[in-house]
């Protein structure tokens, strides 16, 4: 158990809908990352927050947004869903912002868009 929790584990929804994925980092970790994993694209970095502030953006679509709350949990919002958004979404956390901090990954949320 990495100490990172994600809910829900599975999500099935229709095209055009909006969903929210939730992540709680390990105790003491200030940095939260969101990743999308699909068979054809591999592991894609979406966005990073550090202590409540956005610090880095990756290949995140404009239809997607995220935030980190004062208690350090984070939410990833996906809207106007398309079939291609079906994937595993992972949250990870680390102690620091840079340097040699390793990441701890949650179990993921499997999103299926029908």
Partner 1 sequence: AQSVAQPEDQVNVAEGNPLTVKCTYSVSGNPYLFWYVQYPNRGLQFLLKYITGDNLVKGSYGFEAEFNKSQTSFHLKKPSALVSDSALYFCAVRDGASGGSYIPTFGRGTSLIVHP
- For partner 1, the binding residues (CB under 8 A) are 2, 4, 33, 42-43, 45, 48, 55-56, 58, 90, 92, 97-100, 102-108
Q: Which residues contact 71 (CB under 8 A, 6 or more apart)?
A: none
Structure tokens at 48: 């990073």
Q: Which residue's CB is nearer to partner 1, number 83 or number 98? A: 98
Taken as a whole, the chain contains a residue count of 114
Least Å distance between CB 48 and partner 1?
A: 6
Least Å distance between CB 80 and partner 1?
A: 26
Q: Which residue's CB is nearer to partner 1, number 8 or number 58? A: 58
- DSSP-derived 3-state class of residue 29: coil
8 A C-beta contact, residue 90 and residue 73: no
Least Å distance between CB 85 and partner 1?
A: 19
Report how far residue 33's alpha carbon sits from residue 58's, in angstroms, rounded to the nearest whole number.
10
Closest CA to 93 of 82, 106, 81: 106
Q: Which residue's CB is nearer to partner 1, number 48 or number 74? A: 48
Q: Which residue's CB is nearer to partner 1, number 65 or number 110? A: 110
């Amino acid at each position: 158990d990495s100490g990172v929790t994600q809910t829900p584990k599975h999500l099935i929804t229709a095209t055009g809908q909006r969903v929210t994925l939730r992540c709680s980092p390990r105790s003491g970790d200030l940095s939260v990352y969101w990743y999308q994993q699909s068979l054809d694209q591999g592991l894609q970095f979406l966005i990073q927050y550090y202590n409540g502030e956005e610090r880095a953006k990756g290949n995140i679509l404009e239809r997607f947004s995220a935030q980190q709350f004062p208690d350090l949990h984070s939410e990833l919002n996906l809207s106007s869903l398309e079939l291609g958004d079906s994937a595993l979404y992972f949250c990870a956390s680390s102690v620091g912002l840079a340097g040699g901090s390793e990441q701890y990954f949650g179990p993921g949320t499997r999103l299926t868009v029908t």
